A and B are shown apart, each in its own frame.
Chain A
């Protein structure tokens, strides 16, 4: 059973860089056509896709965050990472990592981590 788990600091100061890691277990990261993704949810609000990365390292980012976001992947360590630069209070959210499925689930988020709350505050 594929499992994902986010990790990283729960508090980041304004103007600094947010860095999170998603550890993947129970399955290979370099199989099929699966992409790996970050999604966030500000408190009491909806879901916002941040970006997705393929096991080869190719990436797609949300246009609204493209200038501040970077993702990387290390399949040998079974994890992928997110950095968001120059954070403000508007970046406070629960951050989820997820898999974009393959086969019949192509393009849908079929596995999710439990999420990690990141607060931007001095």
Chain B
């Protein structure tokens, strides 16, 4: 099973600051990684697919980069609605395997 490790576990920042979140895969997954945002009390929503492509309707302050085993989600200037939990997810072995990272909590400083 491919294991995804996210860091940091918690990130405390202020609105307007830049956020950098990391996801590391236990083996090469090419660019087959997605990022999801989960606001408090809501379902996750897809932000980024295939490493760097923004999903429909996602603001351009969100960007993804990386390939192989190391990936980054960057939020260029934090808005109040950006605080929540972010998960990465790999589709390299789908089907049959789906795995998520454990999440990074982005909280207001």
Interface of A toward B, CB cutoff 8 Å? 35, 37, 46-49, 52, 60, 62-63, 96, 98, 100, 104-110, 112-115
Contact = CB atoms under 8 A, between A and B. Distances in A.
A113 B32 contact: no
Given A47-B89, A115-B43, 6 more contacts: A47-B100, A62-B98, A96-B43, A100-B94, A105-B49, A107-B91
Interface of B is mostly: loop
B94 A107 contact: yes
Given A60-B96, A96-B43, A109 B36 contact: yes
B55 A114 contact: no
A109 B95 contact: no
Contacts of B99: 49
B34 interface: yes
Interface in B26-67: 32, 34, 36, 42-46, 49-50, 53, 55
B46 A46 contact: no
Interface residues of B, number: 25
Nearest to A37: B98
B83 interface: no
A114 B43 contact: yes
Contact of A110 (B55, B98, B103): B55
B46 A109 contact: yes
18 contacts: A35-B95, A46-B87, A46-B102, A46-B103, A47-B44, A47-B87, A52-B95, A62-B98, A96-B43, A104-B49, A105-B46, A106-B91, A107-B32, A107-B94, A108-B46, A109-B46, A110-B46, A114-B43
